[in-house]
Amino acid sequence: MDIQARSSYIRRKDMDSVLNCMVSDRLSGGDYPDRFVKAARERFGFDFGLALRSPLVAMDLVYDCLGLEPGDGVALSALSDAWLVRGLLRRGLRPVWLDVDPATACISADSVARIAAGGAKALYLDAPWGIIPDPSIIAEIGIPIIEDATTSIGATAVASPITEVGTGMEINPGQSAGAADSAGVGMGNEELKAGSFGAFCLIGLEHASSFTGGGGALLFAQARRDAQVLRNVADKLTAVELMPDMNAALALSQLKDLEKFLEKRRGLSELYGQSLARAHKKALAQSVDGTPACFGCVVVLESGVKDVRAYARKKEVDTVMAFDGSCVAAGLVPVGLAPQAVSLANRALAFPLHPRIGKTAAQKIAKVLATLP
């Protein structure tokens, strides 16, 4: 049986949670979404959050919170998921493309200069395969940050003190990035947690996320000022934009065991790292000190991608092109704007790393990684 590269880990107790919801005959409009948001607030420490039907609904809500209008630019990585740009274009918003660092797949320091040059009004900051960027790169961009922490839950990054250019004002940890006068990401030699980089944070709950609801998204604001804006906009939501009870019941059950999922991923990551060292291959990795999310094992190959995939398939280990769903792969990025992103999209291969993997399967994957051609 093949070991799948992407998978959610649905346990019997998760199914029991959904079944209890079903027998209550309250598949929507019940209390499960409220219970899920309450548990998530205790876990992530935000001021206000919402359980929504999809990431697209969540992003539309954020655009409303930021007052973005047709023609406004939103900066994003060329490796961001293609669904994001389709949502932008639907609202008449304009993508401002950013290239990436080839060692991390996060937006590069060199590309950040395009944010101002492109007239972007906001930055969509995701974490490719759970890898969070160097906070110093985005500390002084001067526009609101929308963080997507779908794959980076559990990650931290140590940031050095940064002083805002032209003001001499030191940025405090946890400061909001949402207001017009915001200095940017909080700094101060502390570990910044995934989910605290932006004014608004999205956690997608689709298949094969850090934890799943079988669909939907959690959207929250850390700071009180941004939270009030989100509350005001949320008053206009309709029932079909909110997360159904069944999805919330599954997400609630999964959230309770999130730490176990993270621990399992870290153990697999350590095992795989030892194997890759033997094969003299490199994987994408966080560039700054802190705790990695260990969401995936993405090997960057110099050549022979087809041969490596064929070898892994022969050993019953499934692989996927790591950025097969990205804007670059979908042909949405103009030619020449993001050469590093194009290169990674063609050379980065993801191997299975998720809580569903047992000990025997993990050893099989590790052996494949250690003997890659």
pLDDT in tens, 133-159: 999 999 889 999 999 999 999 999 987
Establish how many alpha carbons lie within 13 A of residue 73's alpha carbon, considering only the half-sphere containing its beta carbon. Answer: 14
Amino acid at 180: A
pLDDT score recorded for residue 91: 96
Nearest CA among 56, 83, 51 for reference residue 213: 51
Q: Which of 45-54, 96-105, 137-146 bottoms out in mean pLDDT, i.e. has the lowest?
A: 137-146
What's phi and psi for 349, nearest 5 deg? -120, 130
* Fold topology of 12-256: Aspartate Aminotransferase; domain 2 (3.40.640)
Amino acid at 12: R
What confidence category does residue 191 fall into, taking pLDDT thresholds of 50, 70 and 90?
confident
Q: What is the mean pLDDT of residues 43-58?
A: 97
CA pair distance 134, 147, nearest whole angstrom: 14
Q: Which of 3-12, 28-37, 207-216 bottoms out in mean pLDDT, i.e. has the lowest?
A: 3-12
Residue 42 near residue 56 (C-beta atoms within 8 A): no
pLDDT score recorded for residue 4: 78
* Tokens 């956690």 belong to residue: 203
Q: Which of 56-60, 71-75, 109-113 bottoms out in mean pLDDT, i.e. has the lowest?
A: 109-113
What confidence category does residue 98 fall into, taking pLDDT thresholds of 50, 70 and 90?
very high
Determine the Cα angle at 130 with ends 325 and 290, to 5°: 160
pLDDT (tens digit per residue) in 291-345: 999 999 999 999 999 999 999 999 999 999 999 999 999 999 999 999 999 999 9
User: Is the confidence at residue 18, as pLDDT, over 70?
Assistant: no
Q: What percent of the chain has pLDDT over 90?
A: 80
Element of type H or E holding 237: none
Q: CATH number of 258-370: 3.30.1360.70, 3.20.20.70, 3.90.1150.10, 3.40.50.10440?
A: 3.90.1150.10
User: Is the confidence at residue 118, as pLDDT, over 60?
Assistant: yes
pLDDT score recorded for residue 183: 34
What confidence category does residue 28 fall into, taking pLDDT thresholds of 50, 70 and 90?
low
pLDDT score recorded for residue 165: 28
Q: Is 69 helix (H, G, I), strand (E, B) or coil?
A: coil
Residue 194 near residue 293 (C-beta atoms within 8 A): yes
Q: What percent of the chain has pLDDT over 70?
A: 87
pLDDT score recorded for residue 16: 64
How remote is the C-alpha of 85 from its chain's centroid? 15
Structure tokens at 293: 């999310």
pLDDT score recorded for residue 159: 75
pLDDT score recorded for residue 160: 60
Element of type H or E holding 98: strand 94-98
User: Is the confidence at residue 30, as pLDDT, over 80?
Assistant: no
Nearest CA among 367, 358, 344 for reference residue 4: 358
User: Is the confidence at residue 1, as pLDDT, over 80?
Assistant: no
Residues in contact with 263: Cβ distance below 8 Å, sequence separation at least 6, in sequence order: none
CA pair distance 271, 365, nearest whole angstrom: 10
**DSSP assignment letter at 266:** H
CA pair distance 364, 367, nearest whole angstrom: 5
Q: Which of 6-15, 48-57, 114-123, 151-160 bottoms out in mean pLDDT, i.e. has the lowest?
A: 6-15
pLDDT score recorded for residue 139: 86
Give burial (CB, 10 Å; 0-12/13-18/19+) of 53.
buried
Which sequence spans correspond to the domains of the chain?
Answer: 12-256, 258-370
Question: Mean pLDDT over all residues of the chain?
Answer: 89
pLDDT (tens digit per residue) in 197-230: 999 999 999 999 999 999 999 999 999 999 999 9
